[in-house]
């Protein structure tokens, strides 16, 4: 091991540890990959997780978080120049072995900067920009690890799958985000359905339940459309990569279906799947049975 660094093997072990401890949903898909791709995607996830954690550190002043994001953007220009940083060391090695578009991390940082500034979104097209930054970019980064013989077709599908996952995240976290001062649902959609997402003095939703349910189901139907496009990526991947992407998408799509079935409950508690159900989705993806 280089005294100035952590060594390549140690760097990958660190990133895989991040996946095991923090990627509660993605880890089910990542573990289905063969070793080299699993390590590379773990490095991608670990750096993306770092960026997200900076943006979500509500205890730090916005100016400090923006400065940290700028620092990470600068370090990303030459990850190999930071051998003591296990995430960047692993990412540098992964990028040498796979056509990973590291510049896509710049879009992820753009989206996290918007989070720090508590940007709202007037229209769905505005929200779509954000989704493509924070999740579509990760889809394209993942595709660099998976590999494809037809990037012109595959890249937009990877982007669409990322958008679908991010829309699901937004619907899962509506209450938590509102408490943190963030509203991702488009303002024009709130007006259309007569909703504010405010809560009364007892902490209950101030909006009429039927309007809230209609709003959430409307947004969920949009996410389903993006899954329809994004899942067309799977036949373009090798079997293990398709299983990985299929497991990730399957878990989030199941979350979306639960939200759609009971949107008011989803606004009160964070929707999640038990471990056995995630494992079942992963097993189906590995067997090629997931749809």
| Of 6 and 58, the one with more pLDDT | 58
Q: Residue 120: which residues within 8 A CB-CB, separation 6 or more? A: 183, 187
Residue 105, number of CB atoms within 10 A of its CB:
22
Mapped onto helix, strand or coil, the DSSP state of residue 205 is strand
Give the integer Cα–Cα distance in Å for 11 and 92: 10
Give the integer Cα–Cα distance in Å for 270 and 197: 16
| Of 25 and 81, the one with more pLDDT | 81
Confidence of residue 287 (pLDDT cuts 50, 70, 90): confident
Per-residue pLDDT tens digits for 225-273: 999 999 999 999 999 999 999 999 999 999 999 999 999 988 888 888 8
Instruction: Tell me which H or E stretch contains 86.
Output: helix 86-97
Per-residue pLDDT tens digits for 42-77: 999 999 999 999 998 988 999 999 999 999 999 999
* pLDDT of amino acid 5: 60
261 touches 179 (CB < 8 A)? no
* pLDDT of amino acid 148: 92
Percentage, residues of the chain above pLDDT 70: 97
Per-residue pLDDT tens digits for 95-127: 999 999 999 999 999 999 999 988 789 999 999
Average pLDDT on 78-94 reads 96
Please determine, for residue 4, whether its predicted confidence score (pLDDT) is greater than 70.
Answer: no
Average pLDDT on 15-33 reads 92
């Amino acid at each position: 091991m280089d005294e100035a660094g952590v060594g390549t093997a140690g760097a990958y072990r660190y990133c895989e540890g991040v996946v095991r401890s923090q990627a509660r949903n993605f880890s089910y898909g990542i573990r289905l990959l063969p070793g080299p791709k699993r390590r590379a995607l773990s490095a991608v996830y670990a750096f993306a997780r770092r960026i997200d954690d900076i943006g979500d550190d509500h205890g730090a002043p916005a100016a400090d978080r923006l400065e940290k994001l700028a620092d990470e953007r600068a370090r990303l220009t030459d990850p190999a120049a930071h051998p003591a940083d296990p995430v960047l060391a692993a990412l540098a090695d992964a990028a040498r072995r796979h056509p990973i578009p590291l510049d896509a991390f710049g879009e992820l940082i753009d989206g996290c900067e918007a989070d720090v500034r508590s940007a709202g979104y007037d229209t769905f097209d505005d929200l779509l920009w954000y989704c493509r930054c924070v999740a579509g970019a990760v889809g394209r980064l993942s595709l660099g690890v998976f590999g494809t013989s037809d990037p012109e077709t595959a890249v937009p599908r990877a982007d669409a799958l990322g958008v679908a996952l991010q829309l699901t995240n937004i619907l899962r976290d509506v209450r938590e985000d509102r408490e943190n001062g963030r509203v991702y649902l488009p303002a024009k959609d709130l007006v259309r359905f007569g909703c504010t997402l405010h809560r009364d003095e007892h902490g209950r939703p101030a909006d009429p339940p039927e309007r809230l349910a209609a709003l959430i189901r409307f947004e969920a139907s949009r996410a389903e459309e993006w899954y329809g496009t994004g899942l067309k990526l799977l036949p373009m991947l090798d079997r293990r990569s398709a299983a990985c992407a299929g497991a990730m998408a399957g878990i989030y799509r199941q979350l979306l279906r639960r939200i759609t079935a009971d949107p008011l409950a989803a606004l009160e508690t964070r929707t999640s799947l038990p471990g056995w159900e995630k494992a079942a989705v992963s097993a189906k993806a590995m067997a090629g049975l997931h749809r």
